[in-house]
Each structure stands twice: as C-alpha cells, then as structure tokens.
Amino acid sequence: MHVPADYYLRILPELVLTATAVLIMLIEGGARLGSRAALSGTVALIGTAAALASVAVQSAHRGEAFSGMFRVDGFSLFFHGLIIAATLIVLLLSIGYLRAQRLQRGEFYALLLFATVGMCLMAGSVELIMVFIGLEISSICSYALCGFWRASARSSEAALKYLLLGSFATAFFLYGIALTYGASGSTNLYVIARSLSDVLAGHGSLILVAAALMFVGLAFKVSAAPFQVWTPDVYEGAPVAVTAFMSAGPKAATFAVFLRIFYVALGRYSHTWFWMIWVAAILSMCLGNLGALRQTNMKRMLAYSSIAHAGYVLVAFAALGEHGISAAMFYLACYVAMNLGAFAVISNLAQQNERFIDLHDYAGLGFRFPLQSVCLTICMLSLIGIPLTGGFLGKLFIFKAAFQNHLVGLAIVGLLNSALAAYYYLRVIAFLYMRPATVEVSQPQRSLSMNVAMVACAVGVLWLGIAPNSLLNFVVHSAGALTGR
C-alpha cells in the first residue's frame, strides 16, 4: 500500500493539532510542575498558531487525499483557516479566563484542540462517514467542555442537556446518512451526486426523507429553529470561554458540512429541500430576535442572537447558487469575529464565579474600562449591521443574494428582523455609556492575552467592513469550486 506524502500535507493542520493535544495530555500526566496549566496553555497557543500556518502548506497542495475521503479546495481551506483562527482567539481569552475562575486545567486546552481537529475534518471531508466522525469528535469534546466548571450546577446541567439532545440529533444525522446510502449506494458526496442523477426516477421521496433527517441533525448543531431550544440554557450554563467557542467554531464547521452535503450531493434535489431551509431561516430569525429582546443576561442574550444569526446564514443558503454560498461564507467569517469579540469582553468583565454577567452590571462602565467598552461597542455595532463593520457587508451580500434569487419575502423578513435586533444590541451600548453605574464592578484582571483577543476581534470586524476585497475574492472563487461540478 502506497500513500503519497502529499496526503499528509493535505491534513497537516489536523496532524499538528492532534500532536499538540496529545502532548498536552502528556504534560498533564507527567510534569510535576507548579504551573502545569500555564505550560499547557502556552503549548496549545504555539500548536494552534502552527496549525494556522500549516493551512498555507495545505493550500499549496490542493486535491484529494485518502481514497477521496478528504478534499483540499478553496472551500475547505477557508473553513480550516476560520476554525483554527477562532480556536486561537478562544485560547487567548480562555488563558486569562481560566485563571480568573481558578479553573486552570490543561485538559481544557486538550479538549479544545481535539474539538478543533474534529471541526477541521468536517470542513475537509467529502465522505459522509468521515463527516460524521468529525462531527462526533467535536461534539463529544464540546459536551465535556460545557461541564468543565464542575463546581457549578448550571454548568453540569448544561453539559447534560447538551449531551442528551446532541446525541439525539446525531442519531437523526446518522439515519439520514444511512438512507442516503440506501438511495445512492455510496457515502462519497461526489459519487452520490453522480448516482442520484442516474437513478432520478422514483427516489425523490427517499432523498427527501434522507435530506430532512440530515437537516434535523445539522440544524440542531447550528442552533437553527425549530431545533434551537437547547441553545439559551447551554450557552448560559457553560463557562463563558466555552460559550464563545461553541458559538463560533462548531457553527462554522457545521455550516461547511451543511453547504457541502446539500449543494454537492443533493444539489439536484434543491427543489425538495429548499422549503425546509426557507422555513428554518424565517423561524430562526424571528424566534432568535424576539427571544433576545427580553434577556438581560449577556450570555443568554447572545445565545438568542446566535440563533438569529444562524437564520441569516440560512437565508443565504436558501438563495441557491454561488451568490448564496459566498454570502454565507463571508457572513460566517464576520459572525465569528464579532461574536468572539463580544464574548472576549464578557469573559474579561465576568470575573470570579462569573459575578458580573448581567446587562445591569454594565451600566456606566463605558468610561471606566475604555478598551473593553470600545471593543464591545464595535462588535455590537457589527452585530446590528452598521456600515464600516463586517456585519453590514455580510448582511448586504446575504440580502442581495436573496433578492437576486427572487426570495423577496425572505429578504424582507430578514431586514425587519435586523431592525428589531438593533434594539437589544443598542441597549448594551446605551447601558455602557449613558447609564450611571448601579453595581460596584471591580477592576477586571489585567490579562495581556485577553486584551489581544479583544483587540484582534475588533480589528478583524473593522477590517472585514472596510477592506474585505481579498477575502471576498477568495470566497467567490471557492464558492464557484463548490458548485462547479
């Protein structure tokens, strides 16, 4: 059996991340040092940075690997970069956060990296079984991470809820894979596409059921309505650093799988699954934004907001074709940047035992903690979709794609929702700068890594809003590669 060296270069980020995570476990088990967790954190940071750099190596070796199971093209490169960058930011913020919560354990970093490996596999796989394995790797790690704050009952509750509902959703996804295999005789997405075009007659209903089952599993993971019920509780219960992680990487990876499966394998059947996406998009936007209006807990508010943002991405999804895919990809990049930025600030201000997590704690902080407040403001403005931020351009492309494909109703619902959402995002800014302080919030700990995370996200949001051309070109090209065949 001959395996070309290229194959290993094509999965280099995964290899680097796995090696780093195993090394962290060895450090945790072996070193009898006082600052084991700090060492693990540093190793994790270096490893993730190396993985991000190795995406460049990966991009020089495009093509398929391991009997067509894995594929390096523009689409998977984009998501590799996005996911690993998100993990890097989460690492930066969690180093300070874990110290403040006295939760310093190297296992946190190992789990985070293993989850990232799973997500990278999801982004690159063109094989349903491989996709499933990637999904499981990342999910199991996130279940454990949710319950990482063991002294907190809420954290355990979140982990249990996520585990039970998540496994249930995974079972749906697996059933969908089985039926797809039954209808097409393969688990490779490109082979499925070919064989479905051959045996068009009579299998429409089977494909519809298979698509619906896979849709349930994936919609759960991206917390799209009507499968979003778990989101607020889990996001609220999990430690902020984990919430930040869950709202960014896994969502992007699952959308990558979502787009790949539905456009590549089931693209011919878009008339059957289009309405599922359409309904889910409208429900997610409306339920997410309406739910967020009443929340004063910052984590819970952002949980509902992430449901709404999943809805916006689904609008791009429903706007079939290249425009839709590229809009969805660009929006995901913006979403990851602005959401992580908001969570970075929240995790910095939360302090020990997450004391300051309510909106009312944020009153009057604007001039006391200028760095945090400016970063939070930029991210909130971007979440609303104010020009000069990434959120604005992302929404613009999504609604443009929707109009181009004559989804006027969907676009109008989306625009109305954006207006509605402005209320609760602006309320945060208003509390920061226009309300007198009611709660004595103590000085958050100084942490260089947290500051770097906050500033990097804010700068990223502005960069995506002001000079997005290079990324846009890349996204449009790679979206073309996805639909090209």
Partner 1 sequence: MNSQPNYMANYLPILIQLGLALGLSGGILALSWLLGLHRRTRRKLAAYECGVEPVGDAQNRFAVRFYLVAIIFILFDIETVFLIPWAVVFRSLKLFGFFEMLVYMAIVLAGFFYIWRKGVLDWNTPERAE
Interface residue list for partner 1 (CB under 8 A): 1-3, 18, 22, 25-26, 28-30, 150-151, 182-183, 185, 199, 201-203
Closest to partner 1 by CB, 53 vs 199, is: 199
In whole angstroms, give the CA distance from residue 190 to residue 272.
19
The distance of closest approach from Cβ of residue 180 to partner 1 in the complex, given in angstroms and rounded to an integer, is: 12
Closest to partner 1 by CB, 196 vs 454, is: 196
Closest to partner 1 by CB, 4 vs 409, is: 4
Strand partners, 72: 63
The distance of closest approach from Cβ of residue 19 to partner 1 in the complex, given in angstroms and rounded to an integer, is: 9
Are 97 and 30 within 8 A, CB to CB?
Answer: no
Closest to partner 1 by CB, 102 vs 485, is: 102
Closest to partner 1 by CB, 5 vs 60, is: 5
Closest to partner 1 by CB, 18 vs 377, is: 18
In whole angstroms, give the CA distance from residue 152 to residue 350.
15
Sign of the Cα pseudo-torsion (230, 231, 234, 237, in order): negative
Q: What is the DSSP letter of 34?
A: T
In whole angstroms, give the CA distance from residue 147 to residue 209.
34
Extract the tokens encoding 17: 């991340």
**Residue of 228, 216, 223, 274 whose CA lies nearest to 250:** 223
The distance of closest approach from Cβ of residue 29 to partner 1 in the complex, given in angstroms and rounded to an integer, is: 4
The distance of closest approach from Cβ of residue 233 to partner 1 in the complex, given in angstroms and rounded to an integer, is: 23
Tokens 């791009």 identify what position? 316
Tokens 């020009």 identify what position? 387
In whole angstroms, give the CA distance from residue 262 to residue 306.
22
The distance of closest approach from Cβ of residue 204 to partner 1 in the complex, given in angstroms and rounded to an integer, is: 13
The distance of closest approach from Cβ of residue 185 to partner 1 in the complex, given in angstroms and rounded to an integer, is: 7
If phi > 0 it is left, if psi is from -120 to 50 it is alpha, else beta; for residue 34 that is: alpha
What's the longest Cα–Cα distance across the chain? 71
The distance of closest approach from Cβ of residue 459 to partner 1 in the complex, given in angstroms and rounded to an integer, is: 38
In whole angstroms, give the CA distance from residue 459 to residue 466.
10
Closest to partner 1 by CB, 148 vs 424, is: 148
Tokens 């409306």 identify what position? 286
